[in-house]
Structure 1
Amino acid sequence: MKTETVQAGALPASHTGKLRRIARRMHKERYIYLLLLPGLLYFIVYRYLPMFGIVIAFKDYSPFLGFADSPWVGLANFARIFESPEVVQVMINTLVISFLQIVFAFPAPILLALMLNEVRRQSLKRVIQSIVYLPHFLSWVVVVGIVSIFFRNEGLVNDFLVYRMGFEQPIPFLTNPDFFRPMIVLEVIWKEVGWGTIIFLAAMAGVNPNLYEAAVMDGASRFRQIWHVTLPAIRSTIVVLLIIRLGDVLEVGFEQIFLQLNAFNLDIGNTLDTYVYYKGIQQSDYSFSTAVGVFKGLVGLVLVMTANWLAKRYGEEGVY
Structure 2
Amino acid sequence: MSIAREDYSETSLPINERFVSGVKRFLGAVGLELKRNYQLYLMVLPAVLLIFIFRYIPMYGVQIAFKDFVPTKGITGSEWVGFKHFIRFFESYNFWDILKNTLGLSLYQLIVGFPFPIILALILNQIKHNPFKKMVQTVTYIPHFVSVVVVIGMLTLFTSPDKGIIAHLFTMFGMEPINFMGEAKWFKSLYVFSGIWQSAGWGSIIYLAALAGVDPSLYEAASIDGASKWQKILYIDIPSIVPTAIILLLLNTGKLMSIGFEKVYLMQNPLNQSTSEIISTYVYKMGLLNSQYSYSAAIGLFNTMINFVLLITLNRIAKKANQTSLW
TM-score over 0.5 (shorter chain):
yes
2:164 aligns with one of 125, 138, 155: 155
2:50 aligns with one of 32, 42, 52: 42
Residues in 2 aligned to 1:20 and 1:203: alpha-carbon distance in whole angstroms: 39
Residues in 1 aligned to 2:82 and 2:25: alpha-carbon distance in whole angstroms: 47
Residues in 1 aligned to 2:325 and 2:17: alpha-carbon distance in whole angstroms: 43
Preserved contact between residue 268 and residue 276 of structure 2 (Cα < 8 Å): yes
Preserved contact between residue 246 and residue 304 of structure 1 (Cα < 8 Å): yes
Name the % identity. 36
1:171 aligns with 2:178: yes
Note the alpha carbon deviations across 1:12-39, whole angstroms, 9 max, x for none: 3x86466345334424544433332322
1:253 aligns with one of 240, 252, 260: 260
Q: Tell me how many residue pairs correspond in the alignment.
A: 317
1:274 aligns with one of 281, 299, 311: 281
Match for residue 23 of structure 1? 31
Match for residue 135 of structure 2? 127
1:243 aligns with 2:250: yes
Give the TM-score normalised by structure 1.
Answer: 0.92
Note the alpha carbon deviations across 1:156-183, whole angstroms, 9 max, x for none: 2212322x3333x432111111211100
Name the CA shift for 1:209/1:146 in 2 (closer, same or farther; >3 Å).
Answer: same
Match for residue 78 of structure 2? 70
Preserved contact between residue 109 and residue 196 of structure 1 (Cα < 8 Å): yes
Unaligned 5+ residue runs, structure 1?
none
Higher radius of gyration, 1 or 2: 2
Match for residue 227 of structure 1? 234
Unaligned 5+ residue runs, structure 2?
none
Preserved contact between residue 236 and residue 316 of structure 1 (Cα < 8 Å): no
Match for residue 181 of structure 1? 188
Higher mean C-alpha deviation, range 56-65 or range 123-132: 123-132
Give the TM-score normalised by structure 2.
Answer: 0.90
2:314 aligns with one of 284, 307, 310: 307
Higher mean C-alpha deviation, range 123-132 or range 276-285: 123-132
Aligned-pair distance for 1:214? Answer: 3.0
SS at match of 2:299: helix
Residues in 1 aligned to 2:183 and 2:248: alpha-carbon distance in whole angstroms: 33
Preserved contact between residue 68 and residue 81 of structure 2 (Cα < 8 Å): yes
Aligned-pair distance for 1:125? Answer: 1.5
Match for residue 154 of structure 2? 146
Aligned-pair distance for 1:316? Answer: 3.1
SS at match of 1:161: helix
SS at match of 2:40: helix
